[in-house]
Amino acid sequence: MVSKTLSMLALAGAAVAELPPIHIKGMKFFYENGTQFYMKGIAYQAEIATAGSSTNTGNNTDYKDPLSSESDCKRDVPLLQELGVNTIRTYAIDPKVDHDKCMKLLDDAGIYVISDLSQPALAINRDEPEWNTELFTRYKDVIDALAKYKNTIGFFAGNEVSDAKNNTEASAYVKAAIRDTKKYIVDKKYRPMGVGYASNDHPDIRNEIAEYFNCGEDAEATDFWGYNIYSWCGKSSMKESGYDKWVEFFKSYNVPVFFAEYGCNAGGAKTRIYTDTEALFSDEMTGVFSGGLVFKYQQEENDYGVVEIKNGKAEKQGDFDALKKAHAKVNPTRVQEKDYNPNTGRDQCPAVGDVWKSNKNLPPTPDQTLCDCAEAASECGPADDLDIKDYGSLFGYICGEKPELCAGINGNATTGVYGAYSMCDAKAKLTYLLGAYYKDQKSSSSACDHKGKASVKKANAESSCLQRCHFLRQCPQQPGCHRYWCSCQPHQHFHYWRQRQCRFQHFHLPRLHLRQPRRCPVQRRCPRRWRCHDCSVNASYFVETLGMYLSSSLSV
């Protein structure tokens, strides 16, 4: 009832003081008063090829932020209202520009926003995935930019990153991004906002990928699941489109599921009749799905738009009225939060094998301070004028000559083993690697030249940097090796494996407390021998040897 009232007020042009925020319970979205919320949405962003520059602020964006232009929003928001839209999805915003005016126009119209955190030039690459400091900074900036608006529902940490069975390793990096951005929202004391993932519909991995993002601890699992699906074309049916199978599959999911993109255009946008919209909001689907977002608002070369922008003016396309009528027709059954008992169980993580290749162990959280420390501690670094395009030859040479030195910067999503510096940006990784190679070659002058691409520098790490605790996930190449984890912060742990002896120690600064050994990854029980190793004393040693095989040199 409340949601219908909000929609009527918006359509009548009445100014709503501020939309109530949407929150999640189980697999459903709710308004503050406990009424269920469904997304009747649309994708709202121009393609990169037609986008131009986002702003004139020198941010070097190659996309157009759809929430940065007040004039565009004044043109489009009334049309979004006419379509009966209550949610838009943006794929890339510029966090350095002002969004107040557009977000206020959307808020007054009863429209919520869900936004991707990446941008075209700064996203997790499915072929060479990383979750690093540069990406994390981008994600945090977008959250900071949109968190203050109550009509922000949440964020996508990735869109169709693993889109086939040959790139499923990338999912570990996206899931790490979900984990870290969720924690960032909590640490910043923002109101609850979900962080999720939008997946394509690939038959080889559709089950595994949904299970993977839903398995494990709450802190690292997705808050919602967006499904990009285009299988319902024209006058299809639940069975013909496969929608019935997805209702069955997701009925035991414990987070909201919705169509992050939908709307088959087999005969072009103008032929779309949106019978899939009617199905999506019918009783056959609303017990499981929370609505969806039609792809898309702007008509472009891909021929999906309901509106074409010409000379700054919006012209309705043939399917505009069809979508408007479909949205107006639907009246989904809603539950009250107080009457809803959610499923709290999570999926089992899919087994790593020929099809699924992402381990449940995730990449480390990007730590800019640690990366800065590594750069400062290195005695060799890239030449000041070295182009980033030339980094590859240096990585290739050193890793070819001394592969053990590269363990600290590499990550393997299939084994779940990640070097301590795998989360740094390219420059920090290269600086660390050049320094490690230079020391390995006994500081020979030729070992820090590389045909003028590198030069000797003074190590400049402060003691406060060297005494930081370091998260280590570097193992010797032995069966059953789990990970190294060093922490000198209060109430955290140091867990390592050495010569088939698993030892568990608990550090509580300023004093050290010993605990009994925990279960060993190799043996049923760890040996009853344990000693205390104060990692704060040896922090400089860790800085110098991160990424090396510590099993051969760690003194206990």
**Ranges of each domain in the chain:** 2-339, 368-552
- Closest listed residue to residue 365, CA positions, set 510, 541, 525, 485: 485
Q: Residue 56's pLDDT is what?
A: 32
Is the CB of residue 98 less than 8 Å from the CB of residue 68? yes
Residue 498's H or E segment, with its range, is strand 492-498
Q: Give how far Cα 112 sits from Cα of 19, 274, 281, Å.
A: 8, 22, 18
Q: Residue 420's pLDDT is what?
A: 85
Q: Which of 30-39, 160-169, 369-378, 513-522 has the lowest mean pLDDT?
A: 513-522
Mean pLDDT of the residues in the chain: 82
Higher-confidence residue: 509 or 145?
Answer: 145
| Percent of the chain at pLDDT exceeding 70 | 77
- Closest listed residue to residue 361, CA positions, set 258, 495, 541, 534: 495
Spot the catalytic one: 130, 208, 211, 261: 261
| 261 carries an active-site annotation | yes
Q: In CATH, what is the architecture of 368-552?
A: Up-down Bundle (1.20)
**What confidence tens digit (pLDDT) does each residue in 484-510 have?**
333 222 222 333 333 223 333 332 323
Residue 54 has pLDDT above 60, yes or no: no
> What is the CATH T-level fold of the domain 2-339, as seen in this structure?
TIM Barrel (3.20.20)
**What confidence tens digit (pLDDT) does each residue in 416-437 have?**
999 889 999 999 999 999 999 9
**What confidence tens digit (pLDDT) does each residue in 502-546 have?**
333 332 323 333 333 333 333 333 333 333 333 332 333 333 333
Residue 550 has pLDDT above 80, yes or no: no
Mean pLDDT calculated for residue range 274-298? 98
Could you give the CA distance from residue 412 to residue 434 in angstroms, rounded to a whole number? 21
Pull the structure tokens for residue 223.
């808050």
Q: Residue 47's pLDDT is what?
A: 81
| Percent of the chain at pLDDT exceeding 90 | 72
Spot the catalytic one: 70, 82, 134, 160: 160
Fold match between 2-339 and 368-552? no
| 160 carries an active-site annotation | yes
Residue 470 — pLDDT band, cuts 50, 70, 90?
A: very low
Q: Residue 145's pLDDT is what?
A: 99
533: left (phi > 0), else alpha (psi -120 to 50), else beta?
beta
Lookup result for tokens 């960032």: 184
Residue 6 — pLDDT band, cuts 50, 70, 90?
A: very low
Amino acid identity of residue 448, one-letter, is: C
Residue 445 — pLDDT band, cuts 50, 70, 90?
A: confident
Residue 330 — pLDDT band, cuts 50, 70, 90?
A: very high
Cis peptide before 329 (omega within 30 of 0): no
